Chains A and B, each alone.
Chain A
Amino acid sequence: MRKTSVIPSGVTLVGDIEGDADLVVYGRVEGPIHVDGTLVIEAEGVVRGHVHARTVVVRGVLKGNAFGDEVVRVDEGARLVGELTAPRVQVVPGAQFRGQIHVAQVGEPRLTTYDPRLHTFSGWPAPDAGTTPGTLVAPRAPTSSGAVVAPAGLDAPTVRTRVVAPVAPVAPEPEVTHVVAPFAPSAEATQIVAPEAEVATPPPAEPTRIVEPSPGSAMSPGTTPAPPPFAEITLSEAVSDAIAADGMDEDATLSEAMTYPPPPEKLPLRMPRLGRTPGSRRWS
């Protein structure tokens, strides 16, 4: 099963995210995201920067360009300023969007040539770096401090972190409420569960900061899910100090951030038809 990475709510990431994994953003990301999988910006998620994934689903706020190797989908409730580029682009009425849309013609070869420097697919005009909304120059993190390192052999993304800090210095919500579904690459019959759902607490014996990948662990439905392996997160000293100064428990914050959700329930990813009924074919 693919491992879904999560940026939980209450967490801001300044930096860039790159890797071969699915990613769900409930929190805030300032910087570009490039994952070879499904990227979902959930309703409370905020991303400022270009995003590139095989499938991009936006339900929250995105200021930046979205590039999909297969699909870019803008769901209801999304607020998006930027460009959408993909062979298939879906925009649900009710979504708020400003910017250009580039859709490949049906029957055209898939657009897979991607220039990460220009954040554009070949054949499409490059966004003007100076004026395109959402254009960001991502701060490059120093390699020595703050890093999320994927264990060898995992396809977890490499996240170079400059600052990981809670958005608000107030006490964090005690319970973890993020439920994230792993996305199937086919974008069919994949699901996302609303974050209100309950989350099983991790086993108490589990280390709070590092969870070792359990080799061959299978999250078989119906059984207690073993938390998927994920990367170690190291806070820079400055952030640790800041958290300490705020009187927060760093380990508690981290374990909250690293708690993995239970297996998802089934929700279709496919966009519903836009209200077409036999009697209202033209006008609906």
Chain B
Amino acid sequence: MTTERAAGYIGPGLVVHGRLSGEGDLIVDGGFEGELSIEGRVAVGPAGRLKAPVTARLVTVEGRVDGDVTAAEVVVREGGRLHGDVRASSVGLEDGGALHGTVTMDFDLPADLD
């Protein structure tokens, strides 16, 4: 597994405005508004609200995200809501999760269908 280190944490009741970038993981149980670009994992907890374009390696949504998401992998869990366009090589949408937006993924259809 990856070397675990303390993840950034925005707790409930806390609202952060601004641009956040860097390495590491981030857990959002509170609010974040602005721009989020980190080389790591982002988890939005059930009470978390993220209003920002997000760039990360893995984005897990159990709360609410408003903004475009660019990541290697995006997972919207049950109860999670993602409003925005998604660019990822893997997208998971669990039953009970909601994704409103356009998903972009690079792959080829059979040649005669293009």
Q: Which residues of A contact B (CB under 8 A)?
A: 46, 48, 61, 63, 71, 79, 81, 88-106, 270-271, 273-274, 276, 282-283
Fill in one digit per residue for B39-83: 1 if any A CB lies within 8 Å of its CB, else 0: 001010100000000000010100000000000010101010100
Q: How far is the CA of A276 from the CA of B45 in the complex (A)?
A: 14
**Chain A residues whose CB sits within 8 angstroms of the CB of B109 once the complex forms:** 61, 63, 79, 81
| Bound CA span A132–B75, Å | 25
- Chain A interface, DSSP helix/strand/loop, else mixed: strand
User: Do A94 and B90 have beta carbons less than 8 Å apart?
Assistant: yes
A residues within 8 A CB of B21?
Answer: none
A63 CB contacts on chain B under 8 angstroms = 109, 113
Contacts of A104 in B (CB 8 A): 98
Interchain CA distance A273-B109 in the complex, whole Å: 27
Chain B contributes a number of interface residues (CB within 8 A of A) equal to 32
Q: Does B36 contact A (CB under 8 A)?
A: no
Which B residues lie within 8 Å of A283 (CB)? 41, 43, 58, 60
> Are A99 and B75 in contact (CB-based, < 8 A)?
no
Contact between chains at A96 and B92 (CB < 8 Å): no
For chain B residues 74-103, which have a beta carbon within 8 Å of chain A? 75, 77, 79, 81, 90-103
Instruction: Say whether, besides A46-B113, A93-B75, A274-B77, A101 and B100 are in contact (CB < 8 Å).
Output: yes
Tell me, rounded to whole Å, the shortest Cβ–Cβ distance linking A65 to chain B. Answer: 13
CB distance from A96 to the nearest CB of B (A): 4
Task: Tell me if A274 and B75 are in contact (CB < 8 A).
Answer: yes
A100:B101 contact, CB within 8 angstroms: yes
- CA A96 to CA B88, docked complex, whole Å: 10
Q: Within 8 Å CB of A105, what residues of B?
A: 81, 98
Q: Which residues of B contact A79 (CB under 8 A)?
A: 107-110
Task: Show 12 A/B contacts (Cβ-Cβ < 8 Å), sorted by A.
Answer: A61-B113, A79-B110, A90-B93, A98-B104, A98-B107, A101-B101, A101-B102, A104-B98, A105-B81, A271-B95, A283-B43, A283-B58
Q: Is B16 an interface residue, CB under 8 A from the partner?
A: no
Q: Which residue of A lies closest to B90 (CB)?
A: A93
- Indicate whether B10 reaches chain A with its CB closer than 8 angstroms: no
CA distance A276 to B27 in the complex (A): 17
Contact indicator B105/A96 (Cβ below 8 Å): yes
